A = this chain, B = another copy of it.
């Protein structure tokens, strides 16, 4: 249901384009902005306005950064010989938050998905292979999502690395910690069984 304000409807329309945001949520968010002090809307507008100018992607790893190369690619405290390959910058942030990974990243900017017309050449796979060929890379961990697209992408990259002197591994899949067998789907369970580790 459209409101009687075209401006409000346009804003709701723009917000509705975001993933996972339906018409009602969009309306609720727009209403929140409208109810908040005008300063909030202006701050949001300013950040959005400058977003694409300020944020660049590291030419080496593809992470979001405001300097190129990024702080991780230039850090002497990170293991530059261990590359974690992820689909999106957000995945790298998620891994960073574990504070356990001391290597570097390579963001593919998506996953192979013929249905969505995303082919290997649309991803940053050539850049990854170039990094490996340059030398100094000991291992790559394929941390693409445990989905059909992520698995396909991991398989494709592993194939491409066959003739290169680099160890290729895939992030482990199985039951999430703290979950309950009762609620696990059969695919996860099958995978957790076949991938069992010695005790």
Is A175 interfacial (CB-CB < 8 Å)? no
Number of copies: 2
Interface size class of A (residues with CB under 8 A): 35 or more
**What does DSSP make chain A's interface, helix, strand, loop or mixed?**
helix
A7 touches B54 (CB 8 A): yes
Is A191 interfacial (CB-CB < 8 Å)? no
Is A42 interfacial (CB-CB < 8 Å)? yes
A28 touches B64 (CB 8 A): no
Is A90 interfacial (CB-CB < 8 Å)? yes
Interface residues of A in 31-53 (CB under 8 A from B): 31-34, 36, 38, 40-52
Quick check: which of A15-23, A135-143, A144-152, A153-161 contacts chain B, the rest being far away? Answer: A15-23
Binding site for B on A (CB under 8 A): 1-8, 10-11, 14-15, 17-21, 25, 27-29, 31-34, 36, 38, 40-52, 54-55, 63-66, 70-72, 88-90, 93-94, 96-97
